[in-house]
Amino acid sequence: MTKLVTILGGSGFVGRYIARRMAQAGWRVRVATRRPNERLYVRTYGTVGQVEPILCNIRDEASVRAVMAGADAVVNCAGLLTQSKKNSFKAVQADGAGMVARVAAESGVSALVHLSAIGANAQSDSEYARTKAQGEAAVLEAFPNAVILRPSIIFGPEDAFFNRFAAMTRFSPILPIAGGASKFQPVYVDDVAQAAAKAAMGQAAPGVYELGGPDVATFRALMTTMLTEIRRNRVILNMPRWMAGLTARGLGLAQFLTAGLFTNTVLTVDQLRNLSHDNVVAEGAKGLADLGIDPAPMDLILPTYLWRFRPAGQYELIKESAKGLRSQG
């Protein structure tokens, strides 16, 4: 009998890759999402009827219980980068994660995979990092044999990291960043998906895995790599902490004064706190190698999707080649 996996947040950036992986492995896939009618594209990840978007809100236990009915495995990808209205860090990443694990245990689910983040810390001054840690604790309390994945910054064609900053270079000669000296270990989205799929299929020992790619670099160095890839010369402005703090508080005030009509997705005070810490795999932590996964390097993946931000887009390499021919002539 074909096995069934439920992926909460399965229509998001990482969740879509996990859904594809599970479908390719022959599993039926339920993509739990708040807007199933807007996520019909997930059906194309498998054969007819193999992948289906299903209505679910991680803050509503009845809907969570319904999408888990009959599931052999559950993957929880639900998470936030910024808070808005009822979708707070606590509601989704702490309370929601714990409830998902409890319902999974009560529903007889065989395997539970929980997507967390490097930097999860119950004592952190960042609410994002604290609620990630609280979510992990709640998951392990309810489902001790769960697999918890902690990725660093995740990159790939639809990412909100390199794409976001590359887009900014189109309109300004200056690229402002905060926490430029902090180190990251970017990990390719399909490597994270492969890790989650292996865990869901029972091919990973229970426990916590920290996922990072082969490259470790500062935030500023990553921006330099991105600028080289898109063939644009921009001044990288590493904002002093006081300037970044004023910017974050000003944007937060704008969100408050507009009653949420404007959502601050640029820079928050909480993000600034996170940027004061390195985001790399801890020494001695289990990682991709323990799962038999050889991580993809950035220089292999970035050219496949950042080309669209080059001045001439897909024709940039042709222009560069033509310049070389003229110089030889």
Is 231 contained in some domain? no
pLDDT of 322: 75
CATH classification at residue 139:
3.40.50.720
Q: How many domains is the chain partitioned into structurally?
A: 1
pLDDT of 262: 84
Could you read off the pLDDT of 271-306 as tens digits, one per residue?
Answer: 999 998 999 999 999 999 999 999 999 999 999 999
CA dist 232 and 319 (Å) reads 14
pLDDT of 312: 84
What residues are paired with 236 via a beta bridge?
A: 175
Across the chain, which has 329 residues, the per-10-residue mean pLDDT values are 95 96 98 94 95 95 97 96 85 96 97 97 95 97 98 97 96 94 98 98 97 97 98 95 93 86 86 93 97 97 96 80 63
Is 221 contained in some domain? no
Query: Are the beta carbons of 117 and 150 closer than 8 angstroms?
Result: yes
> What pTM was computed for the model?
0.94
39: containing domain: 4-156+187-212+279-295
Is 14 contained in some domain? yes
Is 130 contained in some domain? yes
pLDDT of 319: 76
Is 12 contained in some domain? yes
